């Protein structure tokens, strides 16, 4: 725990002072994202009451239609971002196309991609879920933002991060160069307070996270790597931990060290690249893990170097402690 109270807002503005030419637009945007996730956190904590207050699709006691939690998360983020004046377009995992800011609202220079609620199959069983976000500077000249603004490689992200709604709510972000910082939401103050300054992922972990039920679909190199981490040897066998909520699996591995894998598999020939999405899941977490000293790869390519072909592109995602990811890459090259 930090020895003085630092709110996320004061931390963001402190970071901004490293760039005297900064207009504060970016800092304001990050504060707006933090605000949206506080609202989502409140709603997540009320989720178990939905059946009591009225199920999805029905009218709750305030006379409002109850929305699914992932729809609620999407809507609140979009509303706050569109009114921020700092964004010109938004892309979300839930929307087929990009969303521009309505013409009657001011436009900004940033574009935001996000996964409103990651791990949503866990909502009904009180397992941690989260929000993942990524911020780019608009690349084209159209002031309203276009799809091609979103097709920039992850290495161009200005900032990325996530929020886990778990036993407590924590927001973790990086601006790529300035380290990775975690802020725990103090529910009584309603403030995110700096709790994990300058997070570094251990060089090697003892945890592996993969959906082992899919072994029959794995490629040979994945099968051999998992066999290796389960074999007895120097620090092995590793411990298996798989929540099924990427953001929570990632957060645990970031703090303890470990490797998360959602590799390519042979399940669906139309979807050979696994399940996770480059823009909303892989690239933002890759920026965080690299800034913390770890690595993120498809097995053969660095995630941050991938040029997206389309908004909802899926990629194999293997990320975590540097030496563990390098071991996996060696298996992919057939060297081990």
- Which stretch, 27-35, 52-60, 112-120, 328-336, contacts ligand AHG (CB under 6 A)? 112-120
Site track for ligand AHG across 155-194, x = CB under 6 A: ----------------------------------------
Strand order in the sheet with 169-174: 99-100, 87-92, 110-118, 129-137, 159-165, 169-174, 180-186, 191-196
Cβ 104 to ligand AHG, closest distance in Å?
31
DSSP for 208-229, please give it: EE--GGGGGGB-HHHHHHHHHH
Compute the least distance from the CB of residue 122 to Mn ion, in Å: 11
User: Per rule CB under 5 A, is residue 175 in the interface with Mn ion?
Assistant: no
Say whether residue 267 binds ligand AHG (CB under 6 A): no
Among residues 79, 244, 268, 326, the one that binds ligand AHG under rule CB under 6 A: 244
Q: How many residues bind ligand AHG (CB under 6 A)?
A: 10
Token pair of 259, please? 């490797």
Q: Which of 108, 113, 118, 259 binds ligand AHG (CB under 6 A)?
A: 118
- Cis geometry, peptide bond prior to residue 330 (ω within 30 degrees of 0): no
Helix, strand, or coil here: 294? coil
Evaluate whether 157 touches 287 at the Cβ level (below 8 Å).
yes
**Which partner from the list Mn ion, ligand AHG, none does 257 bind, CB cut-off 5 to 8 Å by kind?**
none
Closer residue to ligand AHG, CB minimum distance, 146 or 211: 211
246 binds ligand AHG (CB under 6 A): yes
Both tokens of 282, joined, read 């892989």
How many Cα atoms occupy the beta-carbon half-sphere of 143 within 13 Å?
8
- The answer to whether the beta carbons of residues 179 and 291 sit under 8 Å apart is yes
Instruction: Examine residue 118 and tell whether it contacts Mn ion (CB under 5 A).
Output: yes
Q: Does 222 bind ligand AHG (CB under 6 A)?
A: no
Most distant CA pair in the chain, distance: 63
Applying CB under 6 A, the residues found at the interface with ligand AHG are 93, 115, 118-120, 211, 244-246, 275
- Chain residues that interact with Mn ion, rule: CB under 5 A: 93, 115, 118
């Amino acid at each position: 725990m930090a020895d003085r109270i630092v709110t996320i807002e004061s931390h963001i503005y402190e970071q901004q002072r490293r760039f005297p030419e900064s207009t504060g637009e970016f800092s304001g945007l990050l504060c707006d994202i933090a605000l949206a996730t506080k609202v989502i956190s409140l709603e997540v904590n009320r989720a178990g009451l939905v059946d009591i207050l009225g199920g999805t699709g029905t009218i709750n006691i305030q006379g409002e239609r109850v929305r699914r939690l992932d729809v609620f998360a999407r809507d609140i983020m979009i509303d706050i971002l569109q009114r921020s004046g700092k964004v010109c377009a938004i892309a979300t995992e839930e929307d087929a196309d990009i969303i521009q800011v309505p013409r009657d609202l001011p436009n900004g220079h940033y574009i935001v991609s996000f996964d409103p609620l990651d791990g949503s199959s866990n909502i009904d069983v009180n397992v941690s879920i989260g929000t993942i976000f990524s911020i780019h500077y608009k690349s084209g000249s159209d002031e309203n933002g276009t799809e091609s603004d979103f097709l920039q490689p992850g290495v161009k992200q200005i900032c990325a991060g996530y929020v886990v709604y778990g036993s407590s709510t924590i927001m973790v972000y990086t601006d790529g160069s300035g380290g990775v910082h975690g802020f725990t939401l103090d529910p009584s103050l309603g403030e995110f307070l700096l709790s994990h300054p300058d997070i570094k992922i251990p060089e090697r972990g003892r945890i592996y996270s993969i959906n082992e039920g899919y072994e029959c679909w794995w490629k040979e190199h994945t099968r051999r790597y998992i066999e290796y981490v389960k074999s007895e040897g120097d620090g092995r066998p590793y411990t298996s931990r798989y929540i099924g909520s990427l953001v929570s699996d990632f957060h645990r591995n970031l703090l303890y060290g470990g490797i998360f894998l959602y590799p390519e598999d042979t399940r669906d020939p139309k979807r050979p690249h696994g399940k996770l999405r480059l823009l909303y899941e892989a690239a933002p977490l890759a920026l965080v893990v690299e800034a913390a000293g770890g690595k993120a790869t498809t097995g053969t390519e660095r995630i941050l170097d991938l040029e997206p072909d389309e908004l909802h592109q899926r990629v194999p995602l293997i990320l975590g402690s540097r030496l563990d990811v390098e071991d996996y890459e060696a298996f992919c090259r057939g060297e081990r």
